Structure 1
Amino acid sequence: MELHIRLEGRKGLAEQLYRQLRAGIDSGHLAAGTQLPPTRLLAEQLGVSRKTVAEAYSRLTYDNLLSGVVGRGTFISPRHTLRQGDSEHIPLAAADTLERWRQRATVLAQRALDAPSRYDFIGGASSKSQFPYDQWRSCMNYALRRSQRHPERQFSAQGLPELREAITHHIAFTRGIQCAPSDVLVCNGAQQALDLIARVLVEPGCKVAMEDPGYPPARQLFQALGARMQSVPVDDQGLCVEQIEDGTRLIYVTPSHQFPLGMPMAAPRREALLARAAELGALIIEDDYDCEFRYQGPAAEALQRMDRHGLVAYVGTFSKTLLPELRLGYAVLPPAVLQAACVAKHLSDWHSPTLQQWALARFLAEGHLNKHIRRCHEVYSARRERILARLDGDLAPWFDAVPASAGFHLSALAKPGVDVELLISLARKVEVGLYSLAPFFSEAPVRPGLLLGFGAIELLDIDPALDRVADTLQRLS
């Protein structure tokens, strides 16, 4: 590979070469440790004498920017980055807009940057130890062979037909969702599904209603698009539908497993929500983020199945069921929304990764997902029962568990006198990762408590972790 140098004229060539190499080193484009071409080779490439290159190299070496290694060559020396005053940055006209985006960083994004604790109750993380790596590897090999034989170079933004058909069968079996493959849009995780739906529905100033407490990335997304957010409180029956304001265009809910508290939306509330949406002409986003895992009682009927007017967009994901790294989700959309969302998807990234779509379609068709869910259900159920036993036992003086029958997290509300934030800080010092409910509240009064995820913590680690929490609570008391 040739070093990019441009010399003009035939005078001052060594000076020109020195300045261009110096600029590349100062800017970081020529990184520390990079080997420069030998003087003879660079002279031939530039059409100059070897003496010219040697002179430039010598000056850079004198400036401690280059160093020679006997028998190996000339390398750029380690040094500090661009010095103050070497360049002047002009403020961008969009500086205020950029600052607003920087301020939208969510608590969930910050959690991803934190080092995990030895015992971590983080929510939304699945058990990697249960993932069927061998079966997935076989499906990825199939996808590679399929890609090699496939003559096409362009793919539909809506997703591969075989994956959309496999998703249709899966959600019909697990959730009773009534749809055709033509109603399904494949996305890069549920978050992109929310983004696409919001992008084609939300305009600056329009009203969007969502649960409070609720899912922060959804709230941040709607606000970023200029929506006027309405925080609708929840009680033990779910969303307080009667408080949804007139003029609302979009309603975001997690009815099967309210995020973060965990209770399901009662059937009368579901009926009332559909009726209110029909009055408003509002679209409901039903985020069924961890619907596959249910531990007691019959599964609550999905809003999409109850919908008779094309007012529900059903959103699901495989990132939580399988692996976070997979980043594949889907949305079942009403005809009025689907075409616009497909256009937005095409403008965003053309289509989701085809290799992963082929692999996932094969994975679903061969029954690996259902087997994986059954296997994880047993594992998660045991973990859940152990946490509930401790909350009903020695931790009962400090916390009350919120009734929840699905997913792989549960919430525990703190009793009066418990300083949740101090507990979290002290627990971190004894290698236990606990997480507060407070960041999920927007306008509703904060109900102090913990979100306890059990997807990523092993069963045998739960008691040692909660022993440390109990000891910390005893000291605080």
Structure 2
Amino acid sequence: MPIPTDAFFLDHADGLPLQVQLRRQIIAAVAAGRFRPEEKLPSTRALARHLGVARVTVAQAFAELVSTDYLSSRDRSGHYISDTVERRLEAEPLAPAAAGFDWGQRIDGRFLRAQRRDRDHDWRRFAYPFVYGQADPTLVDHAAWRDCAMRTLGRREFDAVTGDLYDADDPELVDHIARQILPRRGISAGRDEILLTMGAQNALWLVAQVLLRAGTACAIEDPCYPGLREILAARAARVLPVPVDGSGLPPDAIPPGVAVVFTTASHQCPTNSTMPLPRRKQLLARAQAQGFAVVEDDYEFEMSFAGAPSPALKAIDRAGAVIYVGSFSKSVFPGLRLGYLVADPRVIAEARALRGMMLRHPPGHMQRTLAHFLSLGHYDAQANRMRRAYARRREVMLAAMAAEGLRLASPEATGGSSFWLAAPGGVDSAELAARLKRREVLIEPGAPFFHQPAAGQDFFRLAYSSIPSEHIPEGIRRIGATLRELGG
């Protein structure tokens, strides 16, 4: 790809000769990796016209760079970055960096401190990735998604998706969520009660910004979704962890004085336990009595393997205290980054205003493409296909774990796309994960899920959304063998 003329500029008020400025600018761009070997430079005529200088000025700068092997000249073709320039840069010592602006005085680092650092971005290179939240591309209906994208980019709809929606959302997608998705959870909501988000993570961030100030008390499950803890840490909220049991969050253990309670009632993260209906009613009664809001993250409600899922908290909430968080990341694909909030219109209005300040709205063409995917029946077909595949993987995994003597920490869990396991006594799951990585196996150690990381060393999570069935037995065998080596 040719280097555009806009990549060059000169300061005519600088004391340096223009030819020297141009030469130094090209050398700096090559050293920084912005200009790469074999990339073509603009013609001397075009660059001179762009910079407002004589053509001879550019020609002389290029000639000097050719003589020092930064550029190569090709007859009747032009000038290119030399294909030997990388070896030249490796041989030359770097110039000492000039003293720069002290950003340490302006940034307090609270977001970096809160950020989770245990995930592997290159998980695909591992043969046995028991990694949660990633997709198996073979289960995604690529042809259907492409057809929906082409519909969106067709002339009939192009005007609608190229405009700025300001703080609005695609009406077709909102309508389908209201009429088809939410009723499956027993939820009835109007347009003014629904807000589209950039996935569940963005939805939780919006809720935290709207409801919590620095020092405001909130209750979370322990263990819980690590991404929520990142958000709350950066918000400087006063976080009160509530240990979960085999039925999820116990309402009686919620401390007094909290403003918000965050829960994953359908599939507790990470244990996958389901909160029974009596406890859900008890939680809502306590919310009304104590005056706290309930944020329900209803991730993976589609993946239930023991009959119909229980109704959402939002479905049985009569006081309007529940804020519901939904996402298409697990049922369509994670890279889509589209989710939604359902709440009282006053909450949605405030969250919409905040979203408008930050990103206005999720990309319009993605919203409309998803609307087609839903309305044409592709979403239901794909969810059914995923459910069948996950059910098969779940069976294979249960058999393999039983054969290796692995112990489920939540044997009563019947949903989701992962298992929560207890490490044998004396085995640190972080050490287990480190050893397994050397054997092409990825697992998630328990520490990031707990308020006190040390409490998680006895647990780890194994997911099966991103690993094919035929790879599961060997991966589990390696986990079992490594556990025995560690004395478990």
Pick closer, same or farther for the CA change 1:289–1:88 going to 2, 3 Å: same
Q: CA deviation at 1:279?
A: 2.8
- Asked whether the equivalents of residues 188 and 327 of structure 1 are also in contact (C-alpha less than 8 Å), the reply is yes
Q: Secondary structure at the match of 1:199?
A: helix
Pick closer, same or farther for the CA change 1:50–1:303 going to 2, 3 Å: closer
**Aligned AA (1:351):** H
- How many residues get paired? 472
Question: Structure 2-normalised TM-score?
Answer: 0.88
Pick closer, same or farther for the CA change 1:59–1:302 going to 2, 3 Å: same
Q: 1:372 aligns with which of 359, 382, 403?
A: 382
Please state if 1:350 is matched with 2:360: yes
- Asked whether the equivalents of residues 261 and 295 of structure 2 are also in contact (C-alpha less than 8 Å), the reply is yes
Please state if 1:313 is matched with 2:315: no
- The CA distance in 2 between the partners of 1:156 and 1:48, in whole Å, is 43
User: In the alignment, which residue of structure 1 is the partner of 2:61?
Assistant: 56
Q: 1:439 aligns with which of 448, 455, 463?
A: 448
**Aligned AA (2:150):** N
Pick closer, same or farther for the CA change 1:23–1:394 going to 2, 3 Å: same
- After superposition, residues 73-152 of structure 1 pair within 5 angstroms as 73-77=78-82, 78=85, 80=89, 83-92=94-103, 94-97=105-108, 99-107=109-117, 110-114=119-123, 116-145=125-154, 146-150=156-160
- After superposition, residues 220-235 of structure 1 pair within 5 angstroms as 220-235=230-245
User: In the alignment, which residue of structure 2 is the partner of 1:300?
Assistant: 310
User: In the alignment, which residue of structure 1 is the partner of 2:35?
Assistant: 31
Per-residue CA distance 1:14-63 (angstroms, 9 max, x = gap): x3321243045325496233433444554565565554444433444455
Per-residue CA distance 1:228-263 (angstroms, 9 max, x = gap): 111111111211322322221121110100000110
**Aligned AA (1:347):** M
- Greater CA drift, 275-284 or 327-336: 275-284
- After superposition, residues 223-262 of structure 1 pair within 5 angstroms as 223-262=233-272
Q: Secondary structure at the match of 2:195?
A: strand
Q: CA deviation at 1:93?
A: 6.2
Per-residue CA distance 1:404-443 (angstroms, 9 max, x = gap): 1111112111232444333323322222222212221113
- The CA distance in 2 between the partners of 1:149 and 1:96, in whole Å, is 41
Q: Secondary structure at the match of 2:483?
A: helix
**Aligned AA (1:75):** Y
**Aligned AA (1:395):** E
- The CA distance in 1 between the partners of 2:206 and 2:404, in whole Å, is 43
- Asked whether the equivalents of residues 432 and 465 of structure 1 are also in contact (C-alpha less than 8 Å), the reply is yes
Q: Secondary structure at the match of 2:304?
A: coil
User: In the alignment, which residue of structure 2 is the partner of 1:171?
Assistant: 181
Q: Secondary structure at the match of 1:208?
A: strand
RMSD: 2.8
**Aligned AA (1:88):** A
Q: 2:398 aligns with which of 371, 374, 388?
A: 388
Pick closer, same or farther for the CA change 1:111–1:45 going to 2, 3 Å: closer
Pick closer, same or farther for the CA change 1:411–1:151 going to 2, 3 Å: closer
- Asked whether the equivalents of residues 254 and 287 of structure 1 are also in contact (C-alpha less than 8 Å), the reply is yes
**Aligned AA (1:381):** A
Per-residue CA distance 1:244-290 (angstroms, 9 max, x = gap): 22221121110100000110113332222212222332221100110
- The CA distance in 2 between the partners of 1:224 and 1:48, in whole Å, is 51
Question: Structure 1-normalised TM-score?
Answer: 0.90
Q: 2:334 aligns with which of 311, 324, 330?
A: 324
Q: Secondary structure at the match of 1:239?
A: coil
- The CA distance in 2 between the partners of 1:467 and 1:85, in whole Å, is 52
